Chain A
Amino acid sequence: MSTRKRILLAASLLLATTATVSLAETPHLGKPLDEAAIANWDISILPDGTGLPKGSGTSAQGAIIFAEKCSACHGDNARGGAAAALVDDRKLAGISASQKTIKNFWPYVTTIFDFIRRAMPFTAPRSLSDDEVYALTAYILAENKLIDANDTMNAETLPKVKMPNRDNFIIRFPDRI
């Protein structure tokens, strides 16, 4: 290789390196935060229980809270009203989403806790304490006979509840994950 070619090669390698670096370059205007500052917003819960907060609740406690804060929409004893029934024994039949119930369809118990905590009550989201969310989750599970009436739900016990329909799903496009 001639000296001239070597110089060109070295130059092009240098250019390539520079280009790679500049691709990753950003204005770096993100303000550093620590997880403690994010804690109030960090309400993500994963199906293995990661993210579940401290606290606990029972079905008996949940029944009282439900009557006060939930039954106006979800009906007495969670049997349905303007909003969906949360306690329902029907089996899946047909392909309409109207057939889906917590008991016959929801695959992960953590989703119940997560959705109540982030979105309910509809008119006052994030107003429930974590104890109240555990109690309401316990109430829905007990009324659906998915746990015993006296079981206490907390960060340890909740993720151990296996939902009946958990293994009935097909990943539509596995190569996109």
Chain B
Amino acid sequence: MNKSADRIAGKCDAGKQTLEAVAGNGLIDRRALLGRGVIVAGAMGAGLAPSAAGAEPLTDGPWSLEIGEATPPYQLRSKFEAKVVRTLSNPDNEPRNSHARTPHHLLEGTTTPNGLHFTINHGGIPAIDPDKHRLVIHGLVKQPLEFSLETLSRYPQVSRVTFLECGGNSAPMFSPEPMQETVQALHGLVSCAEWTGVKLSTLLEEAGIDPKAKWLVAEGADSPHLSRSVPVKKALDDAMIALYQNGERLMPGNGYPMRLLLPGYEGNMNVKFLRRIKVVEQPAMSMYESRTYSQLLPDGKAYRFYFLQEVKSFITSPSHGMALKGPGLYEISGIAYSGAGRIEKVMVSADGGKSWAQAALQDPVLSKAFTRFRMPWRWDGGPATLQSRAWDEAGNVQPTRAEFVAVRGELTKPPPVLAFPNQHYNSITSWGVATNGEVKHVYA
């Protein structure tokens, strides 16, 4: 027996067939997940295997007995996956904004498929002819310049994986009582993709940015001509003009044919359908920055220029609306991310925060990107409250809900679930598991 097997086997309770418990209510050492699957199976399986006697003989499905369908030029997912869709706030395109939320509870890994990436649009989705689209950079520059999609494609391209999150994601968590909604409804306005394009600093250098410049005013070609002010500091750091999303051109709802990408910053600032950047000395105080995404505080003042999407995590499985099918081994799995850098660690609790254990982080752990965490858990059939809490490399820690509410306040009554009258919620989400296995949203 090797050392690791020794370690695990040595701490196993042979009678109950349990692995090393690392925190209360059934959390098991995450190292059980890391290359020790055989040991886990052995330890878990002994004495638990159901009888094979009387099983039905295997038969062939019709698909194994006939030729399949033709290969399409652009393949779509299986028709059996039709229920994995975004939820829509405005399916009939009434004259108001329109949101589509990512179904995190039905997805795995860290990449959001393009068809399921969240979108918010404020005047429908424009049908932009990519050959006619232009990006203009002007204002405090030596030479105003115009770029087409074709010319931008000639510039050195860079790729980076980054999450995008609406400033209003998780707004239902400001409710004074836990809203009985899925992780999609609560946290569906965040997604993660690989974006490829041109570094904004390259274009600003070419135009000759004036040292007096402090802000950019970015504007879209959509009907509201959506406009946001962005500090030059961010523009010269890691901003890019994104042309590709997970390897293909941007989805129309995500800004086709080009968008501003500001890794880690509030979604609304990542202006889509980008057509103009004006370099200026002061922020424009556009409606979205001076009103919508200025966050009211309990004392009547408001935060302005929040920018950052702070460190956050939530468990996607098990989560609200799921039902556990009897006691046994489950994997608690979820997403963590921070606009300030890499995820340093994620702790998980199964007893409402009384005890915590460190989750395994799935590689790669990238800066300002989704990080998948996993935690083995033996559910004993009793009540459990599952929580996750993330730390980032800058030392920021996800607050508890009580800590968060003490500073930021909460609403006096539950808000409409599809509205987001509050922004920048990043504290802990709790899922309560009942003895019948049903999982519900709770505050703990």
Instruction: List chain A positions with a Cβ less than 8 A from chain B.
Output: 24, 26-35, 38, 41-48, 50, 73, 82-83, 92, 94-100, 105-108, 110-111, 114-115, 118-119, 122-123, 125-126, 168-173, 176-177
Residues of A within 8 A of B408 (CB): 95
Q: Which residue of A lies closest to B135 (CB)?
A: A30
Residues of A within 8 A of B302 (CB): 105, 168-170
Q: Decide: A176 and B305 in contact? CB cutoff 8 A.
A: yes
Q: Decide: A173 and B306 in contact? CB cutoff 8 A.
A: yes
Q: Decide: B280 and A38 in contact? CB cutoff 8 A.
A: no
Q: Which of B95, B138, B206 contacts A42 (CB 8 A)?
A: B138
Instruction: Count A/B pairs, Cβ under 8 Å.
Output: 184
A110 with B136, Cβ < 8 A, contacts A32-B144, A95-B422, A96-B421 known: no
Min CB–CB distance A159 → chain B (angstroms): 11
A38 with B136, Cβ < 8 A, contacts A73-B95, A177-B305 known: yes
Q: Which of A125, A168, A176 contacts B231 (CB 8 A)?
A: A176
Residues of B within 8 A of A33 (CB): 136, 138, 144-146
Q: Which residues of B (159-214) have their CB < 8 Å from a CB of A? A: 174, 202-203, 205-207, 214
The docked-state distance in angstroms from the alpha carbon of A176 to that of B234 is: 8
Min CB–CB distance A34 → chain B (angstroms): 7
Q: Which of B147, B214, B233 contacts A176 (CB 8 A)?
A: B233
Min CB–CB distance B375 → chain A (angstroms): 32
The docked-state distance in angstroms from the alpha carbon of A96 to that of B414 is: 11
- Whether, in the assembled complex, B225 has its beta carbon less than 8 Å from a beta carbon of chain A, the answer is yes
14 extra interface residue pairs, beta carbon distance < 8 Å, beyond A32-B143, A98-B421, A172-B308: A27-B155, A31-B145, A32-B144, A47-B284, A82-B96, A111-B291, A115-B286, A118-B227, A122-B223, A168-B300, A170-B303, A172-B295, A173-B306, A176-B305
Q: Which residue of A lies closest to B94 (CB)?
A: A82
Q: Which residue of B lies closest to A120 (CB)?
A: B224
**29 residue pairs bridging A and B, Cβ less than 8 Å apart:** A31-B146, A31-B151, A41-B136, A47-B284, A50-B280, A73-B95, A92-B296, A94-B409, A94-B411, A94-B412, A96-B415, A96-B422, A97-B296, A107-B290, A108-B290, A110-B285, A111-B291, A114-B286, A118-B225, A119-B123, A119-B226, A119-B287, A122-B223, A123-B95, A169-B294, A170-B301, A170-B302, A173-B305, A176-B231
The docked-state distance in angstroms from the alpha carbon of A46 to that of B305 is: 16
Residues of B within 8 A of A32 (CB): 143-146
Min CB–CB distance A171 → chain B (angstroms): 5
Residues of B within 8 A of A177 (CB): 214, 231, 233, 305
Min CB–CB distance B243 → chain A (angstroms): 14
Q: Which residue of A lies closest to B151 (CB)?
A: A29
Q: Decide: A100 and B296 in contact? CB cutoff 8 A.
A: yes
The docked-state distance in angstroms from the alpha carbon of A135 to that of B217 is: 25
Bits for B108-147, please: 1 = Cβ < 8 Å to A, else 0: 0000000000000011000000000000111000011111
The docked-state distance in angstroms from the alpha carbon of A48 to that of B280 is: 12
Q: Which residue of A lies closest to B155 (CB)?
A: A27
Residues of B within 8 A of A92 (CB): 296, 300
Q: Decide: B205 and A111 in contact? CB cutoff 8 A.
A: no
The docked-state distance in angstroms from the alpha carbon of A96 to that of B145 is: 42
Of A24, A107, A169, most B-chain CB atoms within 10 Å: A169
Q: Which residue of B lies closest to A167 (CB)?
A: B301
